[in-house]
Structure 1
Amino acid sequence: MGSQAQVESNDSTLSSDEIHELLSNSRRRQTIHVMKRDDGTADLSTLAEEVAAWENDKPVAEVTSDERHLVYTSIQQNHIPQMERAGVITHQRGELELTDEAEELDIYMDIVPKNSIPWGEYYLGLSAFSLALVAAVWVGVFPASIPDLAWAALIGMLFLCSAAYHVYRSREMLLGDDEKPPEFRS
């Protein structure tokens, strides 16, 4: 399909490359986060204050006019035009609004934290462990007093617990699902 393969969606106009480009900048992610959190809209001035507060690790009330102005100018001149061209927001007189295209960005926010393994590798390891366990049960390594169904239940529970935790962690990484964006959470 090439590097310009379209994201699978009925009316999608964003390529994977465009989505990655949009999400590669923290201020664009933070802008999208605030808008998703606040029902799809934001006032540019308020947004700039909040982003400046996160970037300077201080409450909004302590943000200086210079800090707010730097963020405001950057978002207004660089990030809003790029997000408008991509079709994920509309902008009129300082009021921003998400479009339906912005929903496509959620699937790209599955972040692997430091000192962690990617989920695909985790499930590969869990599958290998499960097959090794089945082979050990088959050749009689474990006592016959443990029913075969117990081993199947154990494997099922391992996958169920892993998948539940995976879903929980993935939801934590979504933009707009918490007061702060994922990169500013402890």
Structure 2
Amino acid sequence: MFDLLGNSRRRRILRHLLDERQITLTDLSARIAAWENDTPVADLTSRERKQVYSSLYQTHVPRLSEHGLVEYDSEERLVSLTGDADRIRRFLEVEAPDRTGFSHQWSRYFLWTAVVGSAVIAGNWLGTAPTTHVTTESLYGVLTVVFMMLSISFVMAVEGPKLLRLGN
């Protein structure tokens, strides 16, 4: 099951079929192409539609059909969900957590470290910062250490659980 769901198009097929138990291959390919191209279905080019349609018809729908998850009626060109919907839903829910907000949080840390560090160094050059008695090289060193610590923290927060699993 994990091998089957390792492909985003197959996951997307099953998601659509969980919402709508039966759909034409043409409509399904248009919806997936729209999702992949981040555009409304009406704005898709015929090339974008054809690429996804061919991929679904030749590869993904037959693969899901071989494993009993979908059925394809070639006369009607209908794709239907035939697998256990609850089981499929459970597998589809086991995805990596959305780290969108998490990444933005870290980018802010890096940005503010760069802004504050640059302001302190510029103030030192101009002789207006309270750190005028500290050398520029020392400020560069402190800023480098801060960036290194921030980078290590970022890597451990994002990749730490995976790195710990590799150690076991």
Which residue does the alignment assign to 2:19? 37
The alignment-based identity, stated in percent, is 34
Q: What secondary structure, in the 3-state scheme, does the structure 1 residue paired with 2:3 have?
A: helix
Separation in 2 of the partners of 1:104 and 1:72? 26
TM-score (norm 1): 0.49
Query: Shift in Å at residue 37 of structure 1?
Result: 1.1
Separation in 2 of the partners of 1:69 and 1:105? 27
Q: Which protein has greater RCO, CA pairs closer than 8 Å, 6+ apart?
A: 1
Residue of 86, 97, 102 corresponding to 1:113: 97
Separation in 2 of the partners of 1:25 and 1:85? 15
Separation in 1 of the partners of 2:57 and 2:72? 10
Separation in 2 of the partners of 1:52 and 1:101? 26
Q: What secondary structure, in the 3-state scheme, does the structure 2 residue paired with 1:90 have?
A: strand
1:26-75 deviation digits (Å, cap 9, x = unpaired): 0001111111111x111100011111011011110000000000000000
Which residue does the alignment assign to 1:51? 32
Q: Which runs of 5+ in 2 are unaligned?
A: 101-168
Q: Which runs of 5+ in 1 are unaligned?
A: 1-18, 117-186
Query: Shift in Å at residue 111 of structure 1?
Result: 2.2
Number of residue pairs the alignment of both structures matches: 97
> Which has the larger helix fraction?
2
Q: Contact 1:89–1:102 (CA<8 Å) still a contact in 2? A: no
Q: What secondary structure, in the 3-state scheme, does the structure 2 residue paired with 1:97 have?
A: strand
Aligned pairs for 1:103-182 within 5 A: 103-108=86-91, 109-115=93-99
CA RMSD of aligned residues (A): 1.7
Separation in 1 of the partners of 2:15 and 2:69? 12
Query: Shift in Å at residue 115 of structure 1?
Result: 4.7
Of structures 1 and 2, the larger Rg is shown by 2
TM-score (norm 2): 0.54
Q: Which runs of 4+ in 1 moved over 4 A?
A: none
Which residue does the alignment assign to 2:80? 97
Separation in 2 of the partners of 1:32 and 1:85? 14
Q: What secondary structure, in the 3-state scheme, does the structure 1 residue paired with 2:15 have?
A: helix
Separation in 1 of the partners of 2:61 and 2:14? 10
Which residue does the alignment assign to 1:21? 3
Q: Contact 1:87–1:101 (CA<8 Å) still a contact in 2? A: no
